[in-house]
Amino acid sequence: MSRKIARYGGEVILYDDAVLSHAEPALFAPAQSAQAPRASGGRGTALFVDCAGQPCVLRHYYRGGLIGRLLSDQFFWLGESMTRCFREWLLLEKLQDMGLPVPRPVAARYRRSGLIYTADLITARLPDVESLAARLACGAVPDETWRRVGECIARFHAAGVWHADLNAHNVQLDSSGRIFLLDFDRGRIRPAARSWQQSNLARLHRSLSKISANSTDPRNFSAQEWRWLVESHAAGLAGAQR
Residue 131 Cα to chain centre, angstroms? 11
Type and span of the H or E element at 105: strand 105-113
Q: pTM for the whole thing? A: 0.92
Q: What is the mean pLDDT of residues 175-197?
A: 96
Of 123, 129, 125, nearest in space to 108 by CA: 123
Mean pLDDT of all residues belonging to the chain = 91
- Residue 188: give its domain's CATH number: 1.10.510.10
Q: Which residues are catalytic?
A: 165
| 202 and 158 in a common domain | yes
- Structure confidence at residue 37 as a pLDDT band (50, 70, 90): low
Q: Locate all alpha helices (DSSP H) within 139-176, ordered by sequence.
A: 143-158
Structural domain ending residue among the three candidates 77, 105, 124: 124
> Is pLDDT above 80 for 32?
no
| 115 and 133 in a common domain | no
Q: What is the pLDDT of residues 109-165, one digit of tens each?
A: 999 999 999 999 999 999 999 999 999 998 889 999 999 999 999 999 999 999 999
Residue 211, amino acid: I
User: In this structure, what are the phi and psi dihedrals at residue 119, rounded to the nearest 5 degrees?
Assistant: -145, 155
Strands 46-51 and 75-76: unpaired
| 99 and 139 in a common domain | no
Q: What is the pLDDT of residues 86-106, one digit of tens each?
A: 999 999 999 999 999 999 999
Exposure string of 70-103, with b = 16+ CB inside 10 Å and e = fewer, is eeebbbeeeeeeebbbbbbbebbbbbbeeebbbb
- Residue 71: give its domain's CATH number: 3.30.200
* Per-residue pLDDT at 160: 98
Counted domains in the chain: 2
- Structure confidence at residue 34 as a pLDDT band (50, 70, 90): very low
Which residues constitute the domain of residue 210? 129-241
Helices (H) and strands (E) in the chain, counts: 5, 12
* Per-residue pLDDT at 25: 95
Structural domain ending residue among the three candidates 124, 148, 171: 124
| 140 and 86 in a common domain | no
Residue 37 and residue 56 in contact, taking contact as beta carbons nearer than 8 Å: no
> Is pLDDT above 90 for 193?
yes
* Per-residue pLDDT at 117: 97
Q: Which of 34-38, 86-90, 184-188 has the lowest mean pLDDT?
A: 34-38
